[in-house]
Structure 1
Amino acid sequence: MLETAHAAIRSAATKLGLDEDAVKQLIDINNEHIFDIKLKNGRTYPAYRVQHSNKRGPYKGGIRFHPEVDIDEVRALAILMSFKTAAVGLPLGGGKGGIEVDPKTLNQNDLEELSRKYVRHLHPHIGPDKDVPAPDVNTNPGIIDWMVDEYEIITGDKTGASFTGKTVARGGSLGRDAATGSGGVIALETLLKHLGKTGQKLTYGVQGFGNVGSFFATVAEGDQPNWRLIAASDSSTGLYCKSGLKPSDLSRHKKNGGSFKEYKADGVSSITNQDLVGLEVDVLVLAALGDAVNKKNMHTVQAKYIVEMANGPVSNEAFEFLDKKDVVVLPDIIANAGGVIVSYLEWLQNKSGEHWSESGVNNKLEKYMTSAVDNLYKTHLSKKVSLRDAAYINAIKNLS
């Protein structure tokens, strides 16, 4: 993923005529915090916080708990966050954090201890005007509540603006849960409008029916009646139904603790995640992890459009191959920016002591996403570059 991020930045920088020194300045990371967290049970876990750039405002980015977290992944995600906030015009920088742990192996007490000790180590380096973390893979509002509480105990800060993605009771924003998926729907809808495809019927598949993928599908179900979900997958298996899957039913099944391996419905058959990548659909929504489309499977892609709802789901080599085949890739730093936009809106609410309505938050989200895609498409046309290059060109201009 780090290689993919660097390649995307270099490609856009080259088209802007920037030299190697300028590229290095864009890529160079401000601070890295690498440490171990030892729990009372004797286990030790490597932990990270990377702060890439604060040129536009406080560092901003999630914290993930995953057994495959490593420093290169966190570096890549921190860089991507700087370019994401710049691409959509937020006055924020970019950072990322993680702990190399499988949270399923921890009980609630261990999970809380791990979360609080992460903050104890980092508290001098984070805060409302320094670095504002948020949830990411395998972290949630409950974990963030522990973290913001620990920060408050240590520092006395009572604004709640030290973290975003909190529960609503603790100062979280309405609309935050659905924000990334909803933003993706707005982004695709806006892009299709520019392409003259508004209102046309299309089929789509979602790889990764977690929080982001499920909200993308359920929001589309309500707002885009001409979009038909025919395939979806989670970590257990994939589902396919030519006549269409019902996103709200799939979401309900997942919320009740079920996996797709157990899901049964008329006309629904099982497929693999790799089958889904190569499925004949109009739109492929990638909402799982990075490098989902790579040199091994890029030849199988039949979709006309790819929406990058995960971070770096199309490798650089795969992107270049698909770009030559005229597959339109809506880049991650635009497509999945809904989450950080509403995180920014939560931060503003906390700092001002306000609490906005869900409709008010959603209206602001739509304005940011629509404007970002409008600017993306304008640069795509004026510079005659891919949408990925256009997104990074816009970000570089805002970071300069």
Structure 2
Amino acid sequence: MSSLSYVSTDNNSAWSTFLAQVERVLPYLGDLALWADTLRHPKRALIVDIPLEMDDGTIRHFEGFRVQHNLSRGPGKGGVRFHPDVTLEEVMALSAWMTVKSAALNLPFGGAKGGIRVDPRELSEKELERLTRRYTSEIGTIIGPQQDIPAPDVGTNAQVMAWMMDTYSMNIGATTTGVVTGKPIHLGGSLGRVNATGRGVFVTGSSAADRIGLTVPDCRVAIQGFGNVGSVAAGLFHRAGAKVVAVQDHSATLFEARGLDIPALADYQRQHGAIAGFAGGTPLKEDEFWHQEYDIFVPAALEGVITPERARALQCRLVLEGANGPTLPGADDILRQRAITVVPDVICNAGGVTVSYFEWVQDFSSFFWSEQEINDRLDRIMREALEAVWQKADALDVTLRTAAYAIACERILMARRERGLYP
């Protein structure tokens, strides 16, 4: 358990999950394990107060965070989450997973993350804009295209990134498109960015399925979470011929043994903001979702959803972690014992940060690539990263997660050792 005084002692917290994952990789790091405390201590954590004038003239205060976990390999990179359950500890864990993710894909970034404890659905557009701009100003001293580059996450989108970019640019007196990624295309955004994370889940999932003897067109797929990641992954599996038989979001669980009409469900979700009420599937109780028979299961919502109890109940052969930290360490052990392959989040959902890297590079050069070029580069990087992790897992006789951490942590700690300590 971390010795940090401002974290909880909850063994199921996101930060505790990350620490447990670090502990499991230590035996494979050799003399680099001497530097392991680098991973257990975020470099910088900023808590900010965000006073907001509401449309009715009242003043409310919101709490915001920006955590830079590790910057040894490059500027921080990580999303901004607007959600009512955001905490400092959660943001710390998310920033740490970004550190590992960037290193596992060999991208020249460190890990960072941000968030505001707010339900954005309760704010008007003008309130949301004022909240975003004040938050950006508050964290403006530690972000920048060579310092820390935010991006969209749960509850944020391209419009929020446009407001962040504009606020930062106004504060420094120069348009700086590279301060955020996930922006609108005409403001320096990249083609392919919106679908990148879901596409990465599909690409790594298809490769993993081939390795364990699954044929995607014959697969039954379940998706938990039907936001940007889950809906895109579901659409790609659907187009590849797989049957997406179950989808769950915050509002409902839908099941259809013959396969849900994913394009129709996606249209319905865009119109209504949820899948509840969609006529093309049979509603199930929330817990029944975990007891159906699938080939591929995609958790694409929030962290900590696969508990040991649910790991014992899952009936599938392959888990693709579209969300960050969806599997608790105890559940990881159970899934391995049951011979269920898990493609870990730090590889599986790294499509977003990979195309964010492409966007960052394009902003510096002011030269932009076609969507086909973006997708081709993304697919190649994702497949090569998964191949390297699989080879490491076979060599060490460990899970794909531990293998990914072994590769990533070696890169992070080698950079830390070679840079040395200052002063």
Q: TM-score over 0.5 for the alignment?
A: yes
Which residue is 1:284 aligned to? 297
Aligned-residue offset at 1:398: 1.6
Which whole-Å CA distance do the structure 2 matches of 1:322 and 1:193 have between them? 19
Contact 1:207 1:273 in 2 (8 A): no
**Cross-structure match for 1:302:** 315
Matched, 1:186 2:203: yes
* Cα distance in 2, alignment partners of residues 200 and 243 from structure 1: 13
Structure 2 SS opposite 1:285: strand
SS at 1:260 equivalent: coil
Which of 121, 136, 139 in structure 2 is aligned with 1:119? Answer: 136
Cα pair 2:222 2:294 within 8 Å, conserved: yes
Deviation of 1:322 (Å): 1.4
Secondary structure of the corresponding residue to residue 246 of structure 2:
strand
What's the offset of the Cα at 1:14? 2.3
- The equivalent position to 1:244 in structure 2, one of 247, 253, 259, is 259
> 151, 157, 172: which is aligned to 2:189?
172
Shift of 1:209: 1.0
> Percent sequence identity over matched residues?
36
SS in 2 for 1:206: strand
| 1:206 aligns with one of 223, 246, 251 | 223
Query: Could you give the per-residue CA deviations for residues 90-132 of structure 1, whole angstroms, max 9, x where no partner exists?
Result: 1111000001111122111211111001111111211000000
- Show the counterpart of 2:389: 376
2:149 is paired with a residue of what secondary structure?
strand
Partner of 1:110: 127
Q: CA deviation at 1:196?
A: 4.2
Secondary structure of the corresponding residue to residue 36 of structure 2: helix
Equivalent residue, structure 2, for 1:263: 278
Decide which moves more: 118-127 or 191-200: 191-200
Aligned partners of 1:172, 1:102: CA distance in 2, in Å?
A: 26
Deviation at 1:199, TM superposition (A): 5.5
> 1:82 and 1:285 mapped to 2: Cα distance?
22
Question: What's the RMSD between the two structures over aligned residues?
Answer: 1.4
Which of the numbers 308, 332, 336 marks the counterpart of 1:323? 336
Q: What is the aligned partner in structure 1 of residue 354 from structure 2?
A: 341
Structure 2 regions of 5+ residues with no counterpart?
Answer: 1-13, 415-423
The reply on whether 1:390 has 2:407 as its aligned counterpart is: no
Cα distance in 1 between the residues matched to 2:146 and 2:374: 22
Q: Give the alignment partner of residue 76 of structure 1, picking from 93, 96, 103.
A: 93
- Partner Cα separation in structure 1 for residue 384 and residue 308 of structure 2: 33
Q: Distance in 2 between matches of 1:396 and 1:105?
A: 40
Tell whether the 8 Å contact from 1:194 to 1:377 is kept in structure 2 after alignment: no
Q: Secondary structure at the match of 1:306?
A: strand
Query: Letter of the aligned partner of 2:19 in structure 1?
Result: H
Per-residue deviation at 1:20?
Answer: 6.5
User: 3-state DSSP class of the match of 2:305?
Assistant: coil
Kept after mapping to 2: 8 A contact 1:231/1:276: yes
Measure the CA separation in 2 of the matches of 1:214 and 1:200: 18
TM-score, length-scaled by structure 2: 0.91
CA contact (8 A) 1:191 1:377 kept: no
SS at match of 2:283: strand
Q: Secondary structure at the match of 1:125?
A: coil
Report deviation, 1:198.
Answer: 4.8
| Structure 1 position 272, deviation (Å) | 3.0
The Cα offsets for residues 339-371 of structure 1, whole Å up to 9 and x where unpaired, read as: 000111011111111121111111111111011
Secondary structure of the 1:174 match is coil
Which secondary structure state, in structure 1, belongs to the residue aligned with residue 363 of structure 2?
A: helix
1:359: which partner in 2? Answer: 372
2:172 is aligned to: 155
Q: Does 1:253 align with 2:271?
A: no
8 A Cα contact 1:206 1:287, kept in partner: yes
Checking the alignment, whether the CA contact within 8 Å between 2:83 and 2:154 is kept in structure 1 is yes
Distance 1:6 1:97 in 2: 19
- Of 91, 103, 106, 1:86 maps to 103
Contact 1:159–1:353 under 8 Å retained in 2: no
Provide closer, same or farther for how the CA distance between residues 35 and 259 of structure 1 changes in structure 2, counting only shifts above 3 A. closer
Inter-CA distance 357–19: structure 2 relative to 1 (3 Å threshold): closer
Equivalent residue letter for 1:192 = A
Residue of structure 1 aligned with 2:65, choices 48, 60, 63: 48
CA distance in 2, matches of 1:278, 1:391: 29
The answer on whether the counterparts of 1:277 and 1:293 sit within 8 Å (CA) in structure 2 is no
Conserved? CA contact 2:299–2:321, under 8 Å: yes
How far off is 1:19 after superposition?
A: 7.7
Structure 2 CA distance, aligned partners of 1:72 and 1:245? 37
CA separation of 1:12 and 1:159: change in aligned 2, threshold 3 A: same
Distance verdict in 2 for CA 1:205–1:51, change over 3 Å: same
How far did 1:5 drift?
0.9
| 8 Å contact kept, 2:216–2:237 | no
Residues 199 and 37 (structure 1), Cα distance of their counterparts in 2 relative to 1, 3 Å cut: closer
Structure 1 residue identity aligned to 2:45: E
Contact 2:220 2:243 in 1 (8 A): yes
Shift of 1:309: 0.4
Residue aligning to 2:420? none
- 2:71 and 2:398 map into 1 onto residues whose CA distance is 28
Give yes or no for the alignment of 1:34 onto 2:51. no
Distance 2:122 2:218 in 1: 44
Give the 3-state SS of the residue equivalent to 1:190 in structure 2: helix
How many residues were matched structurally?
A: 396
Determine helix, strand or coil for the equivalent of 2:99: helix
Shift of 1:214: 0.3
3-state DSSP class of the match of 1:173?
coil
TM-score of the pair, normalised by structure 1: 0.96
Structure 1 Cα separation of the partners of residues 175 and 308 of structure 2: 49
